[in-house]
Amino acid sequence: MARRNRRRDTPAPPPLPGGSERVETGPDGRDFRIRHIPAARAVKTYRCPGCDHEIRSGTAHLVAWPADGGETAAEDRRHWHSACWANRATRGPTRRWS
């Protein structure tokens, strides 16, 4: 029997090869880590906090999570339309993040 219960002590997923990850300031002024999700890897439908509309599977978008989120960072990840993230400063999230 293999070890099934790996400790979830890694706050964020490992960086992708090629280093497509970067840090930007989020809509609430905190630093967020940003990772682009190419269409081929967008296998689920998410709801964008920027416009409150769905991000359909197969749509390239990005995911953001608090850079200083520690153990809860992975749970705080949010999937955004690329355009909505770009406009986050003017639109702001439609929902509270915490």
What are the residues binding Zn ion (CB under 5 A)? 48, 50-51, 81, 84
Closest separation between CB of residue 43 and Zn ion, Å?
18
What is the 3-state secondary structure of the chain? CCCCCCCCCCCCCCCCCCCCEEEEECCCCCEEEEEEECHHHCCCCEECCCCCCEECCCCCEEEEEECCCHHHCCCCCEEECHHHHHCHHHHCCCCCCC
Residue 50 or 66 having the CB closest to Zn ion: 50
Residue 49 or 69 having the CB closest to Zn ion: 49
Closest separation between CB of residue 84 and Zn ion, Å?
3
